[in-house]
Amino acid sequence: MNTSKRQPLCQLPVSSLKGVGPSLAARLAVINIHTVQDLLFHLPLRYQDRTRLTPIGATRLGADVMLEGEVLSCEVSFGRRRSMLCRIKDGTGIITLRFFHFSAAQKNALQPGVKLRCYGEVRHGKTGFELYHPEYQFRSNDINSAIAEHLTPIYPATEGLQQVRLRSILQQALDLLQDRPEVNAHSTPIAQVDGDDLHDWIPAILRQQLRFVSLRKALLFLHRPPPDTAIELLEEGRHPAQQRLAFEELLSHRLCLRRLRLQAEQLQAPKLTARQKLPQAFLASLPFALTKAQLKVLQEITADLSTGKPMLRLLQGDVGSGKTVVAAMAALQAVENGFQAAIMAPTEILAEQHYLNFLQWLQPLGLSVGWLSGKLKGKKREEQMQILRDGSAHVVVGTHALFQEGVQFARLGLIIIDEQHRFGVHQRLALREKGASSQNIPHQLVMTATPIPRTLAMSAYADLDCSVIDELPPGRTPVNTVIVANTRRDEVIDRIHNACRKGSQVYWVCTLIEESEALQCQAAEVTAASLQQKLPDLQIALLHGRMKAADKTNIMAAFKRGEFQLLVATTVIEVGVDVPNASLMVIENPERLGLAQLHQLRGRVGRGSVASHCLLLYQNPLSEIGKQRLGIMRDSNDGFYIAERDLEIRGPGQVLGTQQTGLMSFRVADLIRDASLLEQVKFAAEVIQKDYPGHVGPLIQRWLGDRENYANV
């Protein structure tokens, strides 16, 4: 332990803590915890209050409580589900503990008169208030073991890593932290502090100005909140200590993106002049003319590409606004200048759809289109890799597989990333390195249909310029959205029948609150089976996230060919799937989704010329906010408007939907919840860049991990 005292926490390996052997260290490594500093930044997900005993008579429904009482009786009840009921009393009341899983030994130990302390959630059961499966321990008469001194942290769960063990090693880490003197980086010359202890890289002067606590205070607090802390505030991530960390994380991201931007500006990119042959031929082959908005963004892109400086542009456009055609035009500009273009999509389904589009568009122009995805293996993969390497593929479409090791391009000039919100900043950066030589990097166009309110966009994409397609192609009839209670399910099913009889196709989207993907898929299976029973003459297909990529692609293709009339799917179809003949969509339990995601889903219909409908089949009772939100969906088809309104009315604690916006993955911060920090983040980033440039590296390192190369692209 002596050496550990001297070694900085950011270098001190977790294995130096008591009880951390090689196997535990390996498990921690899986969740990126290597050093004591990493461990300190592994923050609780939620908390339990075991700092006080609640009298049984004072329990409230839904509360998590710690109770102490004496066993009155313990018996097995054979109801619908066998359970063991143990009644306990204290001076104020009686309550039942209910166990569905139990052993004979357990039952024998719960003799009348035995004293228990238990912890659990108060539910409404057959016998009145009950605790289901509480944790409990026996209390002997004489020893009055202490109740907890602070709120009990619950850490993100990981396979084979129990809370108790995590808590015990964190305890040691916190003791180490507490033992060390507070270090303020700004007061010490950089050379001395660099790589030293756990530093607060936000200068005290800024901290005071912005009223943030120190890093050490924030960390100590979050791992051991005192008993009087408002749990709700913590669980919403709005406690000042959390905000302090969220701020630092957002700041680090911004610094990283700004640094990349500055570095990119020092670099060269191929000068892709606006020659017109291929783009003109392509336009002439399309059955429609580009919209004004498409032409405008195309001009911006063309101008970027021809400067010889790397383009870093975000293209936002609502679902169906025609971003793919714009991407194709940009790709053709690269090809005409003798460079390759790569188009990357987040899912196999979407990538394949782009691939088919590009084949259809570009082959007639005499161009060759490559294809690379994770499922492509063996000889076929080799072939594709070869044509990328030797340059005979002009354009290549694919998934993440495009930027994996070993993939080489002959002359990559332009990278197009579709549906950006699915890619984290890490992937964006890794991709940027592809095709980069020391002085030369490819241009980059990032396309997203997630309408991002301006303030958020500025932050999430601080390294990008922004173009917006703010108009839909003509002749679209807006999707007519109707809100229907689940009690009218049969009418909805009739309506599906009618639509299919008229030759349309229908989506049925299942959503589930369960986090588990397995349960979601199961629910979709059950729904598909019950719909099939009610609609025996329809061809019904099922699509969910647990299916093999190849199966998903096949089903999607068959649906597109019209072989199925009804597609029952989980939200996997959210992104970019294009089946113009589908004109009706039913979304089950829409109240569970973020509006941005609902809008994306709804964008799957309304792609053809016939009027389309979207039925939001909600479950009663619907909260006031829930009603308002679905009302917004009914009243508007404008993704940007919807996003702004959603942000406005989403009250605290309404975290649903934030994950759907998933602009970037953060450890502590949440772009929507913490939107109010963004102005300060911007300000602080400027100050640090200017006055404390030495802090930039360590901050990026701390929050964006050990991929240092991100910072030196």
Q: At CA 86, angle to CA 82 and CA 92, rounded to 5?
A: 145
Nearer to ligand ADP, 442 or 576 (CB): 576
Nearer to ligand ADP, 291 or 399 (CB): 291
- Give the bridge partners for 568, in sequence order: 508, 542
Q: What separation in angstroms does the CA of 264 have from each of 429, 440, 572?
A: 11, 9, 35
Binds ligand ADP (CB under 6 A): choice among 290, 359, 538, 656: 290
Residue 412's nearest CA partner among 383, 435, 437 is 435
Distance between CA 64 and CA 52 in Å, rounded? 11
d(CA 106, CA 75): 11
Smallest separation, CB 519 to ligand ADP (Å): 30
Least Cβ distance, residue 63 to ligand ADP (angstroms): 46
Secondary structure (3-state) at 538: coil
CB 223 within 8 A of CB 42: no
Considering the complex, what minimum distance in angstroms separates the CB of residue 248 from ligand ADP? Answer: 36
Residue 325 binding target from Mg ion, ligand ADP, none, CB below 5 to 8 Å by type: ligand ADP
The one-letter amino acid at 498: N
Q: How far apart are CA 444 and CA 432, in angstroms?
A: 8
Residue 100 interacts with, from Mg ion, ligand ADP, none (CB under 5-8 Å by kind) = none
At closest approach, how far in Å is the CB of 576 from Mg ion?
4
Please tell me what DSSP assigns to residue 410: S
64: β partners: 121
Nearer to Mg ion, 102 or 640 (CB): 640
Q: Which of 48, 316, 321, 565 binds ligand ADP (CB under 6 A)?
A: 321
Cβ-based nearer residue to ligand ADP, 93 or 662: 662
Tell me how far the alpha carbon of residue 410 is from its chain's centroid: 34
Backbone angles phi, psi at 312, to 5 degrees: -135, 90
Nearer Cβ to ligand ADP, position 354 or 432?
A: 354
- Relative to beta strand 128-132, strand 115-125 is antiparallel
618: β partners: 485
Binding-site string for ligand ADP from residue 594 to residue 633, where x marks contact by CB under 6 A and - marks none? -------------x--------------------------
Residue 578 binds which of ligand ADP, Mg ion, none (CB < 5-8 A, kind-dependent) = ligand ADP
d(CA 41, CA 699): 13
Q: What minimum distance in Å lies between the beta carbon of 368 and ligand ADP? A: 22
Residues with Cβ within 8 Å of residue 492, at least 6 apart in sequence: 484, 586, 615, 617
What mask, x for binding ligand ADP by CB under 6 A, covers residues 568 to 587? --------x-x---------
* Alpha-carbon gap, residue 608 to 621, rounded angstroms: 35
CA dist., res. 196 & res. 709, Å (int): 21
Binding mask 462-481 for ligand ADP (x = CB under 6 A): -----------x--------
> How would DSSP label each residue in 276-344?
-HHHHHHHHHSSSPPPHHHHHHHHHHHHHHTSSSPPEEEEEE-TTS-HHHHHHHHHHHHHHTT-EEEEE
CB of 317 to ligand ADP, least distance (A): 5
With CA atoms as reference, report the closest residue to 508 among 621, 584, 403. 584
Using the contact rule CB under 6 A, the part of the chain among 121-129, 289-297, 493-501, 508-516 near ligand ADP is 289-297
Q: Any contact of residue 576 with Mg ion (CB under 5 A)? A: yes
Encoded one letter per residue, x for contact with ligand ADP by CB under 6 A and - for no contact, window 325-354 reads x-----------------------------
State the nearest-atom distance from the C-beta of 304 to Mg ion, in Å: 20
Q: Toward Mg ion, which CB reaches closer, 391 or 580? A: 580
Task: Restricting to residues 49-108, name those near ligand ADP by CB under 6 A.
Answer: none
Q: Which residue is nearest to Mg ion, using beta carbons?
A: 576
Rank residues 242 and 347 by Cβ distance to ligand ADP and give the closer one.
347
- Give dist(CA 641, CA 663) in Å, integer: 18
Whether omega for the bond prior to residue 621 falls within 30 degrees of 0, making it cis, is yes
Distance CA 515, CA 20 (A): 30
Count residues binding Mg ion (CB under 5 A). 1
* DSSP per-residue string spanning 452-470: --HHHHHHHTTT-EEEEE-
Q: Terminal CA-to-CA distance of the chain, rounded, Å?
A: 38
Binding of ligand ADP at residue 509 (CB under 6 A)?
Answer: no
Contact positions with ligand ADP (CB under 6 A) in 671-710: none
User: Given the structure tokens 């500006």, which residue do they identify?
Assistant: 265
Instruction: Pick one of Mg ion, ligand ADP, none as the site partner of residue 504 (Cβ within 5 to 8 A by kind).
Output: none
With CB under 5 to 8 Å by kind, the binding choice for 657 among Mg ion, ligand ADP, none is none
Question: Can you read off the two tokens belonging to residue 550?
Answer: 């190849």
Residue number with CB closer to ligand ADP (250 or 314): 314
Please pick, from the candidates 407, 449, 596, 663, the single residue that binds ligand ADP as defined by CB under 6 A: 449
Q: How far is the CB of 215 from Mg ion (least distance, A)?
A: 42
State the binding partner of 421 from Mg ion, ligand ADP, none, CB within 5 to 8 A by kind.
none
Using the contact rule CB under 6 A, the part of the chain among 143-151, 321-329, 620-628, 657-665 near ligand ADP is: 321-329
Residue 291 binds: one of Mg ion, ligand ADP, none (C-beta under 5 to 8 A by kind) = ligand ADP
Nearest to 571 by CA among 511, 613, 513, 628: 511
Nearer CB in complex with Mg ion: 527/612: 612
**Measured from the CB of residue 546, what is the shortest distance to Mg ion in angstroms?**
24
- 152: tokens are 């009990």
CB 599 within 8 Å of CB 451: yes
Which position has the token pair 């099913």? 493
Contact between 639 and ligand ADP (CB under 6 A)? no
Q: Which residue is nearest to ligand ADP (CB)?
A: 322
Question: In the complex with ligand ADP, which residue's Cβ is closer, 49 or 578?
Answer: 578
| The entry of Mg ion, ligand ADP, none that residue 224 binds, CB within 5 to 8 Å by partner kind | none
- Using CB under 6 A, pick the residue from 322, 346, 453, 606 that binds ligand ADP: 322
| The binder of ligand ADP chosen from 319, 334, 663, 664 (CB under 6 A) | 319
Q: What's the token pair of residue 600?
A: 């994306």
Residue 87: which of Mg ion, ligand ADP, none does it interact with, CB under 5 to 8 A by kind? none
Q: Nearer Cβ to ligand ADP, position 352 or 578?
A: 578
Phi, psi for residue 192 in degrees, rounded to 5? -80, -35
Which bin fits 237, alpha (ψ -120 to 50), beta or left (φ > 0)?
A: left
What is the spatial distance between Cα 583 and Cα 604, in angstroms, rounded to a whole number? Answer: 9
**CA distances in angstroms from 576 to 84, 292, 347, listed in the order given:** 51, 22, 10
> Of the two residues 400 and 602, which places its CB atom closer to ligand ADP in the complex?
602
Q: Closest approach of Cβ 635 to ligand ADP, in Å?
A: 21
Give CA–CA dist 319/638, Å, rounded.
Answer: 9
Among 29, 209, 288, 563, binds ligand ADP (CB under 6 A): 288
Nearer to Mg ion, 435 or 576 (CB): 576
Contact residues for ligand ADP, defined by CB under 6 A: 288, 290-291, 294, 317, 319-325, 449, 473, 576, 578, 607
Contact residues for Mg ion, defined by CB under 5 A: 576
